[in-house]
Amino acid sequence: MYSCELTIQTAGLDVLTLEQMKAVPPLERFTHTFQAFDSIEALSRAASTKGDRVLILGESLGMPGIERFLADLEPSRRVKLILCTRETASLTEGPLSALYDIWLTPLAPASLNFYFRRLQKQLKDEKDFWLCRTWLDNAIDPLPDLIWFKDTKGAHLKVNDAFCGIVGKTKEDIQGRGHYYIWGLSKEEYDKGEYVCLETDLEVQRAGKTCVFDEQVKSPDGLRQLRTYKTPIFDEDGTMIGTVGVAHDVTLEREYEQQILEMARQDCLTGLATRWYLQDYIEQNKEEKHITCVYFDLDHFKELNDTYGHQAGDEALVVTAELMQQEFSDGFIARMGGDEFMAVLLGKRGIGNIEARVNAFLTRLMDYYWEARTMRRLTISAGIAQTDPASAKSIDRLIHESDRALYCAKRAGRACCRVYEPCMESRAGDGIRALIESTSEDIIGKGRLR
C-alpha cells in the first residue's frame, strides 16, 4: 500500500560503521539511501532534504556542536535523530528531548547490527500504524452513520465526521470527553440519566458481546432517534478496555413511520379511524368483558353518487361521520370502508338502552338528510352485537355478528336497527335473496351488493 524511501544521513561516523549499516537489507516497502557527511556544518546544509530521514550523529562531532545543531533543527515527525555516544551523563534535557534513540559506543558489529535492525523495525511499525490509522479514518469518515470509540470510563477516544456533525463539535474538542459534555446536557438531565446512554454501555459490558439498542439523544438540532450497535473491545488478556459504537440516525425514518401509521389509522376523508385501527383498538381492549359493536351502513348511497356525483357522496360521508362522533363521543368510531361505519362502546351497557340510543341517532341523522336536497334519498341502517361474558368472542366474531344484525335490518326494510341473535345466522341467506328480489330502486345504492 505504501513505499518509503528512507534517507539515512550520517555525520561523525567511520567508514566501517557506515558500510556495515549499508549491508543490512531494508524491510518490506522500504528503500535506503545513505548520505555521509564529515562535519556538522555539512549536515546542516543538507538538512532540508524532504521525506523520511534518519540523522545519525557520532560523538566525534563534539557535544557543543551537536547541541547547537539540535536546537536549530525544526522538529518534524518525519525526521529521527540518533546520537552515538559512550557518555550519556552529560546530556541535558534539551538534547535528550530531541533524540529518537541513543546508540552506546563503541559500536561493535553485533551491537551495531542490533541497533540498526531495531531502528528498521521501529520505523516500519510506525509506518504500519500510520497506514492502519489512515485506513480507519478513510473508512469511517465518509460514512453517514455515527461511529465512536470509548474507554470503559466513557471518554471518547475517536469519532468520525458524522459524529462531529451531529453534536456540533470538532474531533479535537470531543477527544477524551464524556457524553455529558459532548451532547451538551444540562446537569439536571445528566443527573436524571436522560439521553445519557449509560445503561446501554453497562449492558454491553455485562454481555461482553455486540448489543443493539434504540436510543434517544439530545443534539443541538433537537432530539434524535438512534439505532445503535455497541461492541466491546478487549485487551490481549481478555480484559474489556472499551467499546466501539455505530449509530444510524433513524429520526426521519421514525417520523415517516409515524406518518404512515397515522395514514393507516385515520381515514383521510372523514378523519375517523380506519378498519385496521378499529381491530387494533378492540385487540388492545380484549380483556374488557363488555364490548358493544354498532355497525352502520348508508342506504341508497350509490344512487346519490350516480345522481349528484362523488363530491355529494363525500359530503354525505363527512356529515355522517361528524354526527356520529357527536352522538357516540363516549365510544370509538371507525369508517369500515365505502359507506360503512362502526361505533365501539366499552363497558357494561344494557342492550335496550343501546338500541334506543341507536334508533334515536338514526332518526336524527335521517332528519338531517331530509333537510339537505341532495341527501333526501339517503337513510341509514344499523346492527348491534355485544360480547357475552360467559363465552369469549374474537374480534372477527364480534364484527361478524354486528354485520349479520345489519343484514337483518336491511331485510326489515332499512332505516332501522337490529340486535344480533344466533338465529340470524340461518337467516343470512334468506336476507340476501330477499334483497335481490326487492325493487330495483332499493337495490340501487345498496353498499353490500356493489
Residue 446: the pLDDT is: 38
The pLDDT score that the predictor gives to residue 362 is 96
Instruction: Return the pLDDT at 55.
Output: 94
Q: What whole-number distance in Å separates Cα of residue 17 and Cα of residue 38? A: 14
The whole-number pLDDT of residue 436 equals 40
- For residue 197, is pLDDT > 80? no
pLDDT (0 to 100) of residue 253? 82
Residue 70 has what pLDDT?
82
User: pLDDT per residue over 95-119, tens digit each?
Assistant: 788 899 999 999 999 999 999 999 9
Residue 40 in this model has a pLDDT that exceeds 60: yes
pLDDT at 390 over 80: no
427-435: long-range pairs with CB below 8 Å, 24+? 428/404, 431/407, 432/407, 435/410, 435/411
Residue 404 backbone phi and psi in degrees, to 5: -65, -40
What is the rounded average pLDDT of the residues 2-14?
93
The rounded mean pLDDT for the chain is 87
- Decide if 90 contacts 63 (C-beta within 8 A): yes
Beta strands 340-346; 101-104: pairing state: unpaired
161/153 Cα distance (integer angstroms): 22
> Among 25-34, 50-59, 220-229, 432-441, which stretch is predicted with the lowest mean pLDDT?
432-441
Global pTM?
Answer: 0.61
CB 57 within 8 A of CB 99: no
Three-class DSSP category at 247: strand
From the list 306, 412, 294, 424, the residue with the least C-alpha distance to 355 is 294
CA–CA separation, 409 vs 85, rounded Å?
A: 111
pLDDT bucket at 296, cuts 50 / 70 / 90: very high
Spatial separation of the C-alpha atoms in residues 161 and 159, rounded to whole Å? 7
Burial class (CB in 10 A: 0-12, 13-18, 19+), 161: middle
Assign 419 a pLDDT band (cuts: 50, 70, 90). very high
Residue 448 banded pLDDT, cuts 50, 70, 90: very low
Over range 286-292, report the average pLDDT.
86
Task: State pLDDT tens for residues 358-386.
Answer: 999 999 999 999 999 889 989 999 999 99
- Give all domains of the chain, ordered by start, each with its CATH number: 4-139 (3.40.50.2300), 146-254 (3.30.450.20), 266-449 (3.30.70.270)
- The mean per-residue pLDDT over the stretch 56-74 comes to 85
> Within 13 Å, how many C-alpha atoms sit on residue 168's CB side?
8
- The whole-number average pLDDT for the span 281-297 is 89
Q: How confident is the model at residue 389 (pLDDT cuts 50, 70, 90)?
A: low
Indicate the range of 118-132, 171-185, 190-204 predicted with least confidence.
Answer: 190-204
Q: What is the pLDDT of residue 276?
A: 87
pLDDT above 90 (res 178): no
Q: What are the b/e assignments for 101-136, b being 16+ CB within 10 Å? A: eebebebeeeebeebbeebbeebbeebeeeeeeeee
Q: Describe the strand order of the beta sheet including 156-159 as a list of residue ranges.
A: 156-159, 146-151, 240-249, 222-234, 211-219
